[in-house]
């Protein structure tokens, strides 16, 4: 995950003499697209020292030279009310340890909301750092019959002003040229007023001088909002969008997944054909390629999930969803911004937990953080897909919807409802002191996001997932393979146990049943047998403790040991070899239901635990989260098993 990456100013391109620029602006001003336009895909993400506000630094080429661009957290004011707004203020004032005051500022303002932004511009100019004002969305201003003379605006403010349409790349080259000559930027002759009583009159005079005419209302936005924010239709559309979202993720990715699966299968066959040593070929083919491949199969699905999230965000639907859901959040004592944090948790709990920094109240932050791991993150997706595939026939349909998609939707609802209840409980347990801080959220006009910005968002998320596959999951997979294949059993022992040593499947099945992993799985049996888990599932659940997706890789290895030719069928038809249930299937409906519910609740993600530790500054909260979620997982899984068994007669 990106959170573990500390080499913020890395990349080997940093020299002491490089000028440093900071991007300042309100949320939605188009700061990120200016940042991406200047730095390309070379941004480094990390954290500010001491706090966990995400930090983005990129290198920008300016002619023969280069400079560093830092994207500061968005804010409407330099009077901070949340931790990440405080970062922006501290960096501008050079008060943050370990971060030098920037040499110059790029102040980003949206041309369509310039009347609101000018008082903020005045606050920033009062910091007397060399500043260039970057005006975004000038294309939209013109389309909506607004006007602005950027040269006159520059004259009125006394600083360079440049129009940049970041997502189309217009003005980026000129901005680069400006960066090279930052030392000679003009500064305001007279500092603008920051007194609240004077600043409005000043702003109006500046706008008049710059020939500013505010844009007309965006007709499309008005018409679309009349439906999407309508008390009845808006709510129906909200649920339809969520439903469609999960159906798309489920159905559209299937052919791509097939392609990835066969590619890894081919790779694995190549290894076994060309590596003579059976141990080495097993380690490479089954553990490394098989284990990583089993999880990589979900790359198309996870990319699709992030792509849809990026689209919904880019179009502007996310803030509408938060608007519709704010009242629901108020019922559990939280606010719309907590909903946005929980929405991010659908991708991954880590950005979700980090997004709680926009919450000014410490109690709200804790309640949201304790709830975030319950939201169905993308790491649960591979596990759910595998288990639902075993539980529900793909051809089974309920009305127009596939039954698999419906079960998946149900699990997402379960996660969301549980998260809300958890947030409510933690909010109740906390004290009620402390002032309520204002909740406010901009509803930007609907915009067509540029393909580039959507792809950048999708790719950066996918990259984090791929990194996890090649590190944590690869290591766990290799370790598991070793546990499953050790100790070695000599042929004499196999014959003594009545195993036909010429039958490869029987040998590997015996090997797995008598491995260290089996011992470990049996050790966990007292805990998990009430849930119907056998030792193989126990090993899967234990291995998933580092990262949930590992469960898929583990079951892949376990089933491959049973039937290397067709692991999927092996899993479906796997039976207990001995014991009281001998001959019965392991993956019965109640067991799968218990497993699904267990994964819905349990905190099986070391990265989340680490982020909780860093966000709260103590081990207390991660320990509480781990204990309550694991306990809850067991109880709910037991209930799910009992209920499914009862329903199934």
Closer residue to another protein, CB minimum distance, 220 or 523? 220
215 binds another protein (CB under 8 A): yes
For residue 153 the two structure tokens come to 């605006």
Instruction: Check residue 323 for interaction with another protein (CB under 8 A).
Output: yes
Q: Which residue, 274 or 327, is less far from another protein as judged by CB?
A: 327
Q: Directed axis angle between helix 550-562 and helix 535-543, to 10°?
A: 150
Site string for another protein, 235-254 (x = CB under 8 A): x-------------------
Which of 95, 115 has the CB closer to another protein? 115
Cα-Cα end-to-end distance for the chain = 44
Q: Give the nearest distance from C-beta 351 to another protein in angstroms.
A: 22
State how far the Cα of 65 lies from the Cα of 47, in Å rounded to an integer.
26
Q: By CB under 8 A, how many residues form the interface with another protein?
A: 44
Of 81 and 311, the one with the shorter C-beta distance to another protein is 81
Name residue 310's beta-bridge partners: none
Q: Measured between alpha carbons, how far is 23 from 548 in angstroms, rounded to an integer?
A: 37
SS3 of residue 622 by DSSP: helix
The interface region with another protein, picked from 349-357, 437-445, 495-503, 571-579 by CB under 8 A, is 437-445
**22, 23, 125, 324: residue in contact with another protein (rule CB under 8 A):** 324
Looking at residue 221, what DSSP letter applies?
A: H
Candidates 78, 163, 70; CA nearest to 120 is 78
By CB under 8 A, the residues from 57 to 96 that bind another protein are 76-77, 79, 81
For another protein, which is the closer residue by CB, 112 or 268? Answer: 112
Residue 619's contacts (CB-CB under 8 Å, 6 or more residues apart) are 613
DSSP state, residue 530:
G
Does 256 participate in binding another protein (rule CB under 8 A)? no
Instruction: Give SS3 for 433.
Output: coil
Give the pairing type, strands 54-62 and 65-71: antiparallel
Which one among 209, 264, 317, 439 touches another protein, defined by CB under 8 A?
439
Residues 316, 51, 41, CA angle at the centre, nearest 5°? 50
What secondary structure letter does DSSP report for 147?
A: B
- 336/521 with CB nearer another protein: 336
Residue of 185, 326, 520, 572 that binds another protein (CB under 8 A):
326
Site for another protein in 442-481 (CB under 8 A): 442-445
Span from 160-168, 295-303, 415-423, 439-447 in contact with another protein (CB under 8 A):
439-447
Within 544-619, residue ranges assigned H as helices are 550-562, 567-573, 589-601, 606-616
CB-nearer residue toward another protein: 229 or 506: 229
Among 195, 276, 331, 492, binds another protein (CB under 8 A): 331
Say whether residue 438 binds another protein (CB under 8 A).
yes
Instruction: Work out how close the CB of 204 gets to another protein at its nearest, in angstroms, rounded to a whole number.
Output: 10
Q: Which of 64, 196, 399, 498 binds another protein (CB under 8 A)?
A: 196
Q: Give 183 or 435: the residue with its C-beta nearer to another protein.
A: 435
Does residue 231 bind another protein (CB under 8 A)? yes
Q: Is the Cβ of residue 437 or residue 643 nearer to another protein in the bound state? A: 437
Give the residue with the Cβ less far from another protein, 73 or 567.
73
Q: Is 562 in the site for another protein (CB under 8 A)?
A: no
Sign of the C-alpha dihedral, residues 68, 74, 79, 85? negative
**How near is the Cβ of 331 to another protein at its closest, in Å?**
5
Residue 200: φ, ψ to 5°: -65, -45
**Exposure string for 346-369, b = 16+ CB within 10 A, e = fewer:** bbbbbbbbbbbbbbbbebbbbbbb
Specify the DSSP element, H or E, that contains 455.
helix 451-468
Counting contacts by CB under 8 A, is residue 330 touching another protein? yes
Residue 335 interacts with another protein (CB under 8 A): yes or no: yes
* Distance in angstroms (rounded) separating the CA atoms of residues 353 and 350: 5
The region of 100-108, 114-122, 371-379, 389-397 touching another protein under the rule CB under 8 A is 114-122
Pairwise CA distance, residues 69 & 33, whole Å: 13
Min. distance of Cβ 374 from another protein in angstroms?
A: 21
Whole-angstrom distance, CA of residue 540 vs CA of residue 545: 9
CA distance 601 to 39: 40
Q: How far is CA 134 from the centre of its chain?
A: 29
- By CB under 8 A, residue 119 contacts another protein: yes
* Residue 433 found at the interface with another protein (CB under 8 A): no
Which positions lie near another protein, rule CB under 8 A?
76-77, 79, 81, 112-116, 119-120, 196, 199-200, 214-215, 221, 225, 229, 231-232, 234-235, 319, 323-324, 326-327, 330-331, 333, 335-336, 435-445
């Amino acid at each position: 995950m990106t959170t573990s990456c500390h080499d913020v100013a890395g990349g080997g391109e940093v020299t002491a003499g490089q000028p440093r620029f900071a991007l300042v602006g309100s949320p939605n001003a188009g700061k990120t697209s200016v940042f991406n336009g200047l730095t390309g895909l070379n941004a480094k993400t990390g954290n500010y020292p001491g706090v966990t506000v995400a930090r983005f630094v990129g290198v920008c080429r300016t002619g023969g030279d280069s400079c560093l661009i830092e994207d500061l957290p968005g804010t409407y004011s330099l009077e901070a009310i949340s931790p990440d707004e405080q970062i922006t203020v501290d960096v501008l004032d050079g008060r943050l340890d370990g971060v030098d005051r920037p040499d110059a500022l790029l102040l980003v303002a949206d041309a369509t909301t310039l009347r609101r932004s000018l008082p903020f511009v005045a606050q920033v100019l009062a910091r007397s750092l060399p500043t260039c004002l970057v005006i975004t969305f000038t294309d939209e201003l013109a389309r909506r019959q607004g006007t602005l003379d950027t040269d006159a605006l520059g004259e009125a403010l006394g600083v360079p002003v440049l129009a940049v349409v970041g997502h189309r790349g217009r003005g980026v080259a000129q901005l680069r040229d400006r960066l090279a000559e930052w030392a000679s930027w003009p500064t305001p002759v007279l500092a603008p007023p920051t007194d609240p009583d004077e600043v409005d009159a000043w702003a109006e005079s500046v706008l008049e001088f710059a020939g500013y005419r505010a844009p007309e209302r965006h007709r499309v936005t008005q018409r679309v909002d009349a439906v999407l924010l309508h008390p009845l239709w808006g709510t129906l559309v909200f649920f339809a969008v969520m439903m469609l979202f999960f159906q798309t993720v489920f159905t559209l990715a299937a052919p791509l997944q097939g392609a990835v699966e066969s590619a890894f299968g081919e790779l694995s066959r190549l290894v076994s054909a060309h590596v003579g040593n059976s141990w080495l070929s097993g380690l490479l083919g089954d553990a490394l390629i098989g284990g990583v491949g089993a999880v990589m199969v979900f790359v198309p699905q996870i990319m699709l999930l992030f792509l849809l999230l990026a689209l919904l965000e880019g179009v502007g639907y996310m803030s509408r969803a938060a608007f519709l859901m704010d009242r629901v959040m108020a019922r559990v004592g939280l606010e719309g911004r907590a909903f946005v944090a929980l929405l991010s948790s659908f991708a991954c709990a880590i950005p979700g937990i980090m997004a709680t920094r926009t919450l000014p109240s410490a109690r709200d932050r804790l309640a949201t953080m304790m709830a975030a791991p319950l939201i169905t993150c993308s790491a649960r997706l591979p596990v759910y897909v595998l288990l639902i595939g075993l539980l529900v026939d793909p051809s089974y349909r309920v009305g127009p919807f596939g039954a698999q998609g419906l079960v998946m939707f149900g699990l997402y609802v379960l996660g969301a409802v549980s998260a809300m209840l958890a947030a409510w409980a933690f909010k109740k347990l906390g004290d009620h002191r402390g002032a309520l801080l204002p909740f406010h959220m901009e509803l930007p006009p609907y915009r067509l996001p540029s393909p580039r910005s959507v792809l950048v968002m999708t790719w950066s998320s996918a990259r984090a997932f791929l990194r996890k596959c090649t590190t944590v999951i690869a290591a766990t997979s290799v370790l598991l393979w070793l546990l499953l294949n050790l100790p070695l059993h000599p042929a004499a022992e196999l014959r003594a146990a009545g195993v036909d040593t010429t039958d490869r499947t029987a040998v590997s099945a015996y090997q797995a049943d008598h491995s260290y992993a089996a011992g470990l799985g049996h050790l966990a049996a007292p805990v998990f047998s009430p849930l119907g888990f056998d030792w193989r599932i126990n090993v899967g659940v234990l291995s998933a403790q580092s990262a949930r997706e590992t469960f898929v890789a583990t079951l892949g290895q376990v089933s491959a040991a049973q039937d290397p030719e067709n692991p999927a069928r092996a899993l479906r038809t796997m039976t207990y070899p001995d014991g009281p249930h001998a001959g019965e299937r392991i993956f019965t409906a109640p067991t799968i239901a218990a497993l699904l519910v267990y994964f819905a609740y349990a905190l099986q993600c070391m990265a989340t635990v680490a982020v909780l530790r860093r966000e709260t500054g103590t081990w207390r909260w991660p320990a509480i989260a781990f204990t309550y979620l694991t306990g809850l997982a067991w109880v709910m899984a037991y209930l799910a098993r009992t209920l499914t068994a009862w329903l199934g007669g």
